[in-house]
């Protein structure tokens, strides 16, 4: 009997935790002195706190049916602000980050670190993306992007956050769904960790995530079809034609929560499209804390991320909250929509950037 118990204990503790994994992989960065490790763990800590509140919000939501929609509205507003405050407080306290660009804040939030070797990184974050879906209990997420600061010392600067996506040292998302996962990359592949809520530990559950070669899912809000560029209309029509050799027609799946749509497509194989439209000439998604981190993950998972004409990661951001069209998924799927955009909507390439605050 004793032998069986000890075997069970061994099995239980074969799991690799996020902390162990990040430390083990830190050795691949000879100059790393643990700062990025600590920063990634700080993000994991904040995610656990936000996760707990989101679940509680679900509870309040049930109670909220008794009250007016104000309760649900307050909960959503509270949750957006709560998530933002939690990540800012945790990152400020961790000392590894000297500035944050957040979807919730018009300007960069800068921190003064009094210890010279601290504050080497800056973070762009969407603390709670898709939060309008909370009342329908749809998965939502946090999306983050990490860069080395460019400025020498002192509080981080606005310019520290306006770096092209190729400069990212790490990026990832947390998906608050049927289970809570943290998925991230530091440029050496994509790894997924599932939160064990009973002990509050992220455990490696999806090592070395890659897009399946031949996905057959497409995700786009077809309600905007009339506003799409001709190249996107042609692509959707192509996907809906019958051709068993290319597994067409594809399956349409759209949740309206970027992290949930991207995560499903990464696992099952599919392309996500948020094109520029007549109503949103630069698209809807934000460069710094939606397109760039998702693009980094997509490329590290063997896929592609484009604005229809060029690689997302090579675009030089001009403002903190600027938008970009996003086509991301398996290489072949993205290349097909790029081909049709070049042929049928070349004029979209030179759409002027609508100046956004920040
Ligand atoms: P639409 C959520 O509001 C979000 O920013 C992304 O998470 C999502 O992909 C997109 O907007 C959905 O936008 O216009 O289809 O509702």
Beta bridge partners of 192: 183, 206
Ligand 1: residue of 252, 256, 261, 270 to mutate (most ligand atoms within 8 A of CB) is: 256
Residue 267, burial from CB neighbour count under 10 angstroms (0-12, 13-18, 19+): middle
Ligand 1: residue of 76, 257, 286 to mutate (most ligand atoms within 8 A of CB) is: 257
Q: What does each C-alpha distance from 231 to 142, 192, 291 come to in angstroms? A: 31, 34, 20
Q: How far is the CA of 275 from the centre of ligand 1 (A)?
A: 12
Sorted by where each begins, the domain ranges of the chain are 9-206, 217-350
One of 3.40.190.80, 1.10.8.100, 3.40.1390.20, 3.40.1000.10 is the CATH number of 217-350, namely 3.40.190.80
Ligand 1: residue of 129, 265, 288 to mutate (most ligand atoms within 8 A of CB) is: 129
Give the global pTM. 0.91
Give the residue whose CA is nearest to atom 1 of ligand 1.
256
Which contiguous run of DSSP H or E holds residue 330? Answer: strand 326-330
Each of the 358 residues of the chain gets a pLDDT tens digit; together they read 455 555 554 455 578 999 999 888 877 665 666 889 999 999 999 999 999 988 877 565 433 333 333 322 445 457 888 899 999 999 999 999 999 999 999 999 999 877 767 789 999 999 999 887 877 889 999 999 999 999 988 899 999 999 999 999 999 999 999 999 999 999 999 999 999 999 999 999 999 999 997 789 999 999 999 999 999 999 999 999 999 999 999 999 999 999 999 999 999 999 999 999 988 999 999 999 999 999 999 999 999 999 999 999 999 999 999 999 999 999 999 999 999 999 999 999 988 887 655 4
Task: Check residue 214 and give its pLDDT.
Answer: 73
Bond prior to 249 in cis (omega within 30° of 0): yes
For residue 221, which atom of ligand 1 is closest to its CA? 15
Six-digit token string for 158: 């606005």
Give the residue whose CA is nearest to atom 13 of ligand 1.
256
First-to-last alpha carbon distance for the chain, in angstroms, is 65
What angle separates helix 18-26 from helix 35-64, to the nearest 10 degrees?
160
Q: Which fold has domain 9-206?
A: Fructose-1,6-Bisphosphatase; Chain A, domain 1 (3.30.540)
Residues contacting 282, CB < 8 A, separation 6+: 276, 322, 323, 324, 325, 351, 353, 354
């Amino acid at each position: 009997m004793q032998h069986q118990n000890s075997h069970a204990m061994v099995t239980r503790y074969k799991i690799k935790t996020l902390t162990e994994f990040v430390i083990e992989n830190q050795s691949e960065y000879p100059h790393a002195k643990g700062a990025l490790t600590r920063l990634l763990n700080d993000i994991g800590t904040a995610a656990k706190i936000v996760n707990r509140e989101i679940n509680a919000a679900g509870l309040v939501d049930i109670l909220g049916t008794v009250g007016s929609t104000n309760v649900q509205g307050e909960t959503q507003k509270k949750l957006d602000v709560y998530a933002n405050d939690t990540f800012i407080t945790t990152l400020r306290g961790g000392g590894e980050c000297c500035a944050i660009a957040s979807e919730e804040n018009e300007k960069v939030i800068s921190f003064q670190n009094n210890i010279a070797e601290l504050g080497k990184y800056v973070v762009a974050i969407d603390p709670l993306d898709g939060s309008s879906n909370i009342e329908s209990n749809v998965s939502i997420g946090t999306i983050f992007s990490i860069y080395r600061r460019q400025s020498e010392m002192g509080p981080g600067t606005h310019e520290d956050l306006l770096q092209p996506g190729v400069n990212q040292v790490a990026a990832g998302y947390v998906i608050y769904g049927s289970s809570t996962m943290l998925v991230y990359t530091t440029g050496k592949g994509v790894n997924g960790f599932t939160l064990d809520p009973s002990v509050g530990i992220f455990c490696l559950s999806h090592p070395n995530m890659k897009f399946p070669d031949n996905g057959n899912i497409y995700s786009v809000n077809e309600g905007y079809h009339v506003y799409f560029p001709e190249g996107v209309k042609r692509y959707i029509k192509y996907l809906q034609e019958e051709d068993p050799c290319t597994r067409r027609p594809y399956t349409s799946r759209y949740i309206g929560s970027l992290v949930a749509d991207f995560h499903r497509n990464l696992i099952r194989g599919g392309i996500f499209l948020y094109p520029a439209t007549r109503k949103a000439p630069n698209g809807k998604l934000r460069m710094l804390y939606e397109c760039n981190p998702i693009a980094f993950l997509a490329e590290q998972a063997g896929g592609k991320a484009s604005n229809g004409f060029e690689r997302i990661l090579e675009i030089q951001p001009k403002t903190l909250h600027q938008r970009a069209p996003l086509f991301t998924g398996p290489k072949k799927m993205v290349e097909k929509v790029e081909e049709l955009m070049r042929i049928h909507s070349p004029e979209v390439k030179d759409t002027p950037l609508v100046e956004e605050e920040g």
